[in-house]
């Protein structure tokens, strides 16, 4: 009976606890709740975007702080154990006040890392308090200060956090030789990340950190003369990252580190053949030797790397026939990458061995492949295949889709394939690149049905012809499509404009498409880049562009047959940076609003029938750097306000009159072409102040007077001839310049 009463009381207590948690009571320690809000208040004071700082941390008494984003608590005591601040959007460097962490007696993990260098803490609010604060956090095991601006001065204070097991200082402003004595008291440390700093000198000695299992020193600036002998005593390490740190010399010393599970030596200056002793690292799962200068062949000892899952040998100097047979029995191998910078590597394609591995990623780029390696026929679990920049020919190996239903990325660009036949199955492929081949024939009409989940397709620089596939409208997720430099023709189907609403980049340049280039009613609301140049499009610049008025940054419809005027609403394409509409049949007066677009830096209106005067004044001069207005019928004066910040100005072959402007606000101009107009008066001496000028053409005008002698002091040209479009200018002005 007593047992039943006891069980009943326990049940009531559990129900009360659950109800309390559901209503947000008692699951969050009030003292720590207030401390979290104080932390937020402090972070808000350091941020330029207060609304984005820890938005779930609210003063609502019913909200459970243990459920706030970035906060985790002990499920029994309700005390905070983990704090992660996330993005703080700090406008400038500031100091971190660690005393605000005192109330969190059980905090185990503290993450103050920035993302893409958004958090910019560069020190502690108070050095003494910083040391005391870290000393008080007796349970702190994980401290992440990555992607800030801390420098070496914080090391003595970090030494107070003796309970630390994981310390990440990745991506800060630390430099000079790393003094390991700074962390002499962190005897519990198991993981130390010092990558992406500016440490130099020798590789640090860390043998006093007896429990250290993982060390990342990659992306630093160690001396290339440093040998790796310092590593010989690091026998306890399981993970070692030394990538992109300017290291050289023999690497055999790593063979003594028998506990290694991950080794990254990529991006250094190691040379010679791969050491045979690497085969003794039986526990090795990840080996990255890419971007060095290794040569020779794959050692037979690699067959003993029975735990190996990832092997990258890309971008080395391997030459000659390269056999992959040492990998045959590596049953755990999932990722293999190989390429050569020598262009003399030839991977063995015909083999008698049948692999025991099932790869998920295979990269054989620049391997002089003339046939697809036979071992690929046995692969059924591939997710990514890169066979680009080889000598492969014949039909695209779409059988890879049949054999590998989970394949997501297929890269076959820069080969000599001539045929493209899709399998009849529906596949979930996301990325397909077959650009720069010799593929001809009519483009597959049902590709949208076969590959409905495609996100990225590049079929440019081939010999495809026929109509644009109507089934492309089924590709709801496609954001990148490049079919430029083919012989495709006809009008673009309405289903494409309505169905591919995720498109971000569309390139159909150098084809024979006709009709409207972007009709009304399209769903391209996310379009960022639109390249439709060198086609047969007709009609006016339509309001269909306005679907992308907030996102479109590059628009190129040059070399078509467009007619009519530039519409005044063109300025509503607020994000536009590059506008190229040259070599059409556009006419009329240029709307002043075109020159007031705030982000427009490259404007090409050349080769049209525009007329009238250029706007004499604009309210908000565009940040233009390049302005091409040549081969039109513009009249009137050259407005000075139009020329601010311009670097390249081409106004050749118009009907402009008046004198040459002073170019007072145009000191950065490097190319000035005013040939073939009706300019009068003398050459202003202010042109001599254009210190960056490289090309100057004032010929075929009605200028008079003497040529300013100071022009000969300018450094014209780049030491030869410089070409702009179809215009070639001599690098230095002749002695007898006829104007």
What local confidence, expressed as pLDDT, does residue 337 receive?
98
pLDDT class of 17 with cuts at 50, 70, 90: very low
DSSP symbols for 343-355: S-EEE----S---
| In 104-154, alpha helices (H) | 127-136
pLDDT at 712 over 90: no
304 vs 644 pLDDT, higher one: 304
CB 633 within 8 A of CB 652: no
- Can you list the alpha helix ranges (DSSP code H) found in 222-327? none
pLDDT category at 307 given cuts 50, 70, 90 is very high
Residues of 614-638 as b/e, b for ≥16 C-beta within 10 angstroms?
A: bbeebeebbebbbbbbbbbebeeeb
| b/e 562-580 (16+ beta carbons within 10 angstroms → b) | beeebbeebbebebbbbbb
Domains, the chain, in order of start with CATH, read 270-381 (3.80.10.10), 392-548 (3.80.10.10), 579-730 (3.80.10.10)
Predicted confidence at residue 98, as pLDDT, reads 81
Give tens-digit pLDDT for 677-701.
Answer: 999 999 988 888 888 888 999 999 9
Give the other-Cβ count within 10 Å of 59's Cβ.
9
pLDDT confidence bin for 13, thresholds 50/70/90: very low
Confidence (pLDDT) at 9: 45
Does 721 have pLDDT greater than 50?
no
**138 φ/ψ sector (left φ>0, alpha ψ -120 to 50, else beta):** alpha
Question: 10 Å Cβ neighbour count for 649?
Answer: 23
The more confident residue out of 735 and 371 is 371
User: Does residue 178 surpass a pLDDT of 80?
Assistant: yes
Structure confidence at residue 14 (pLDDT): 43
Does 381 or 114 have the greater pLDDT score? Answer: 381
Structure tokens at 698: 């004032």
- Please give the backbone phi and psi of residue 240, each rounded to the nearest 5 degrees, phi first: -135, 120
| Cα first-last separation, the chain | 117
Q: What is the pLDDT of residues 56-110, one digit of tens each?
A: 999 888 889 999 999 999 999 999 999 998 766 665 667 778 888 889 989 999 9
Range 417-430 average pLDDT: 92
Please give the pLDDT value at position 561.
Answer: 98
Contacts of residue 268, defined as CB under 8 A and 6 or more positions apart, other chains included, come to 242, 243, 244, 245, 246, 247, 248, 291, 292
Q: What pLDDT is attached to residue 6?
A: 40
Per the prediction, the chain carries an average pLDDT of: 87
What pLDDT, on the 0 to 100 scale, is given for residue 235?
Answer: 87
Helix, strand counts (H, E) of the chain: 7, 52
pLDDT of residue 415: 97
At 352-395, the pLDDT tens digits run 889 999 999 999 999 999 999 999 999 999 999 999 999 999 99
- Residue range 509-525: average pLDDT? 90
Q: For residue range 644-675, list pLDDT tens digits in order.
A: 778 899 999 999 999 998 765 667 788 999 99
Facing residues of 678 across strands? Answer: 657
């Amino acid at each position: 009976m007593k047992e039943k009463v006891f069980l009943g009381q326990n049940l009531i207590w559990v129900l009360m606890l659950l109800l309390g948690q559901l209503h947000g009571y008692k699951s969050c320690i009030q003292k720590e709740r207030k401390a979290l809000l104080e932390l937020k208040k402090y972070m808000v004071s350091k941020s330029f975007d207060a609304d984005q700082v820890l938005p779930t941390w609210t003063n609502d008494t019913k909200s459970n702080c243990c459920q706030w984003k970035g906060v985790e608590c002990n499920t029994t005591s309700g005390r905070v154990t983990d704090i992660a601040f996330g993005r703080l959007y700090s406008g400038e460097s500031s100091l971190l006040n660690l005393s605000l962490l005192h109330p969190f007696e059980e905090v185990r993990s503290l993450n103050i890392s920035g993302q893409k260098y958004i958090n910019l803490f560069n020190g502690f609010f108070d050095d003494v308090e910083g040391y005391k604060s870290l000393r008080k956090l007796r349970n702190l095991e994980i401290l992440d200060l990555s992607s800030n601006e801390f420098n070496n001065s914080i090391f003595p204070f970090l030494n107070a956090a003796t309970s630390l097991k994981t310390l990440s200082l990745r991506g800060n402003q630390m430099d000079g030789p790393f003094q390991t004595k700074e962390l002499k008291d962190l005897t519990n440390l198991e993981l130390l990340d010092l990558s992406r700093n500016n440490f130099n000198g020798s590789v640090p000695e860390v043998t006093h950190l007896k429990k250290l299992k993982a060390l990342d020193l990659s992306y630093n600036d160690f001396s290339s003369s440093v040998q790796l002998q310092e590593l010989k005593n690091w026998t306890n390490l399981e993970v070692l990252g030394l990538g992109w740190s300017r290291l050289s010399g023999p690497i055999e010393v790593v063979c003594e580190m028998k506990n290694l599970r991950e080794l990254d030596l990529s991006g250094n200056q190691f040379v010679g053949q791969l050491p045979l002793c690497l085969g003794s690292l039986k526990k090795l799962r990840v080996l990255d030797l890419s971007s060095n200068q290794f040569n020779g062949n794959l050692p037979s000892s690699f067959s003993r790397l029975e735990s190996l899952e990832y092997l990258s040998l890309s971008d080395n100097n391997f030459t000659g026939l390269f056999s992959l047979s040492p990998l045959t029995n590596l049953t755990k191998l999932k990722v293999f990458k190989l390429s050569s910078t020598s262009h003399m590597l030839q991977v063995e394609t015909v083999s008698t061995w049948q692999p025991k591995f099932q790869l998920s990623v295979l990269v054989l780029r620049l391997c002089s492949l003339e046939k697809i390696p036979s071992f690929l026929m046995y692969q059924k679990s591939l997710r990514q295949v890169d066979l680009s920049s080889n000598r492969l020919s014949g039909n695209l190996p779409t059988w890879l889709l049949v054999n590998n239903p989970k394949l997501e990325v297929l890269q076959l660009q820069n080969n000599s394939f001539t045929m493209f036949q899709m399998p009849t199955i529906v596949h979930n492929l996301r990325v397909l690149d077959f650009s720069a081949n010799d593929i001809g024939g009519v483009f597959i009409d049902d590709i949208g049905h076969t590959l409905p989940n495609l996100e990225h397709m590049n079929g440019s620089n081939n010999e495809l012809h026929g109509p644009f596939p109507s089934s492309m409208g089924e590709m709801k997720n496609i954001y990148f499509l490049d079919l430029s430099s083919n012989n495709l023709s006809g009008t673009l189907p309405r289903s494409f404009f309505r169905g591919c609403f995720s498109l971000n980049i569309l390139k159909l340049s150098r084809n024979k498409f006709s009709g409207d280039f972007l009709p009304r009613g399209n769903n391209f609301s996310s379009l960022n880049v639109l390249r439709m140049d060198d086609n047969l499009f007709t009609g006016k610049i339509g309001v269909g562009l306005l679907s992308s008025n907030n996102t479109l940054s590059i628009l190129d419809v040059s070399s078509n047959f467009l007619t009519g005027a530039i519409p005044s609403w063109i300025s509503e394409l607020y994000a536009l940076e590059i506008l190229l509409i040259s070599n059409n049949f556009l006419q009329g007066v240029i709307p002043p609003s075109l020159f007031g677009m705030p982000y427009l830096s490259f404007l090409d209106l050349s080769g049209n029938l525009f007329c009238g005067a250029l706007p004499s004044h604009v309210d908000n001069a565009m940040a233009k750097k390049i302005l091409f207005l040549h081969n039109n019928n513009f009249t009137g004066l050259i407005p000075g306000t139009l020329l601010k910040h311009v670097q390249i100005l081409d106004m050749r072959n118009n009907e402009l009159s008046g004198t040459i402007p002073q170019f007072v606000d145009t000191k950065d101009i490097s190319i000035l072409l005013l040939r073939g107009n009706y300019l009068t008066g003398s050459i202003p001496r202010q042109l001599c102040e254009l210190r960056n000028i490289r090309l100057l053409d004032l010929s075929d005008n009605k200028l008079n007077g003497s040529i300013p002698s100071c022009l000969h002091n300018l450094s014209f040209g780049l030491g030869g001839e410089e070409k702009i479009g179809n215009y070639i200018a001599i690098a230095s002005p002749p002695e007898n310049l006829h104007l």
